[in-house]
Amino acid sequence: MSAERDASETARATARRAFVRAAGFDPDRMEALPADASPRRYFRLHGGGSPRLLMDAAPAPDFHAFLRIARHLTGLGFSAPGIDSADLERGFAVIEDFGNRTYTRLLAEGADERVLYELAVDTLAAIHRAEGSTRIDVPPYDDEPLFLELQMFTDWFAPQVAPGIDVKAFRAAFFGLWDAALAEVKRSRDALVLRDFHVDNLMIVDGRAGVAACGLLDFQDALIGSAAYDLVSLTQDARRDLMPGLEDALVERYLAARPGLDRAAFMREYHLLAAHRHTKVAGNFERLSKRDGKHGYLVHIPRVLRLLDKEMDAAGLTAIRAFIDRTLPGWADWRPTSPAA
C-alpha cells in the first residue's frame, strides 16, 4: 500500500511540474507552503513575472467550486485570488499570490486587532449588500449540509466523551432536537455564506484600499444561507479569543452597515448558528485528529466547548442542552489528550 501511495505521489509531482512549466514558471523553484486542515496544497511560483501560486487540489467538486466562486467574488469587486489558468481534469490552477500578510500572522506580530477585524466586518457587510452576490450556482444551506455538520459531533465527539455510546441512537435523538431548532434558519437565503470566514483565511493585500484590501481565501464550500453565519465564524473564532468587548462592537458595526435588517431576527440566527457551528467544530477537530492525524486542533476544543456552552444559553436551546447534559455527562469540561503527546 505504501508503494502504491509513493507511486501515486510521484506521478502527481511529475504532473505538477509539467503544468508549472507549461504555465511559464520554473518547477525547480516551487516553494511549498505550510499545509492546513484542507487536502489542497499550495506552492509559491518563481521565474514567471508577477507573484503567483500553484493550487494543487486534485480533481474534486470543490476545486471547480473554488474557481467559480473566486471569479464571482472578483467580479463583484472583492479580493479573491485571480485565476490565471487551470487544468480542470487534473486539479491544478495558477492563482494570484496575495503574499504572506495573513490576519493570523499579523495578529501574532502585534497588529491592531480592532482595525483588522473592523475591515473584515466591513468586507462581509459589503459582500452581503452587493447586488447579485447570491446569484451564483451554489447549494442552499439547508438540511443536508446542516445535518452533515452535526454528524461530526455525534460520530466523532460524542464517542470520545462517552465511550460505548450507541452512536446511531444518539444521532437520531440529537438530529430530532436540532431539526426543530433549525426549522426557520434552514430556509434562509439571505447571503452568500463563505463558511470559513476567520483570521486564517483573511489577508491584507498590499496596494489596495477599502474592502479590496481584505483578501479572501478558502471559500470553495460556500452556500446560500443566513447572513449571520460568517459573522459568527469571525467573531467567535474556534482558534483564538478576541479582546473583551470586541465581539459586541463588531456585531454592532455589522448591523449599522445593514440598517434594513430585522435586528431581533438577525440576533436569533446569530446565536443559533453560533451554537450549531461550535457543535460542528468540536466534532471536526476530533475527526481531524483521529482520522487525519492532525492533532494540533485538539488544543482548541476547550475554547469551542466554552463557546458552545455560552451560545446554547443565548439561543435558548434548553432541550438540546438537557439532552447532551444527560447523555454526555461532563462534556463542557472534557479535555482531549493528543495521541501525539
The CATH number of the domain where 113 resides is what? 3.90.1200.10
Q: Give the pLDDT confidence of 280-317 residue by residue, as tens digits.
A: 999 999 999 999 999 999 999 999 999 999 999 999 99
Q: Give the pLDDT confidence of 132-164 residue by residue, as tens digits.
A: 999 999 999 999 999 999 999 999 999 999 999
What's the total number of domains in the chain? 2
Verify that 115 and 229 share a domain, yes or no: yes
Cβ neighbour number for residue 92 with a 10 Å cutoff: 24
Q: Which grid coordinates are listed for 149?
A: 455538520
User: 88 with 64: CB under 8 angstroms?
Assistant: yes
Q: 64, 96, 128: which is the final residue of a domain?
A: 96
Residue owning grid cell 426549522 = 183
Q: Which grid coordinates are listed for 83?
A: 485565476
Q: Is the pLDDT of residue 37 over 60?
A: no
In a domain, 77, yes or no: yes
Q: Which grid coordinates are listed for 188?
A: 434562509
Q: 96, 123, 150: which is the final residue of a domain?
A: 96
CA 208 from chain centre, in angstroms, equals 24
Verify that 147 and 221 share a domain, yes or no: yes
Verify that 240 and 150 share a domain, yes or no: yes
Q: 96, 128, 146: which is the final residue of a domain?
A: 96
Q: Which grid coordinates are listed for 61?
A: 467538486
Verify that 111 and 78 share a domain, yes or no: no
Give the whole-angstrom CA distance, residue 332 versus residue 183. 26
Residue owning grid cell 485565476 = 83
Verify that 115 and 204 share a domain, yes or no: yes
In a domain, 193, yes or no: yes
Verify that 152 and 31 share a domain, yes or no: no
Verify that 80 and 218 share a domain, yes or no: no
User: 61 with 91: CB under 8 angstroms?
Assistant: no
Verify that 79 and 146 share a domain, yes or no: no
In a domain, 278, yes or no: yes
User: 183 with 161: CB under 8 angstroms?
Assistant: no
Give the whole-angstrom CA distance, residue 220 versus residue 70. 8
The model's pTM: 0.92
Verify that 108 and 218 share a domain, yes or no: yes
In a domain, 48, yes or no: yes
Cβ neighbour number for residue 259 with a 10 Å cutoff: 7
Verify that 108 and 182 share a domain, yes or no: yes
Amino acid 256: pLDDT:
98
Range of the domain at 12: 2-96
Strands 223-225 and 191-193, bridge-based pairing: antiparallel
CA 94 from chain centre, in angstroms, equals 22
| Residues forming beta bridges with residue 202, ordered by sequence position | 216
Verify that 275 and 311 share a domain, yes or no: yes
Amino acid 59: pLDDT:
67
Mean of pLDDT values over 175-183? 97
Q: Is the pLDDT of residue 319 over 60?
A: yes
Span of 20-34, 73-87, 115-129 with lowest mean pLDDT: 20-34
In a domain, 340, yes or no: no
- Percent helix, strand, coil in the chain, to 5, is 55, 10, 35
Verify that 266 and 200 share a domain, yes or no: yes
In a domain, 114, yes or no: yes
CATH of the domain at 58: 3.30.200.20
In a domain, 135, yes or no: yes
In a domain, 339, yes or no: no
Amino acid 337: pLDDT:
83
Q: Give the pLDDT confidence of 194-253 residue by residue, as tens digits.
A: 999 999 999 999 999 999 999 999 999 999 999 999 999 999 999 999 999 999 999 999
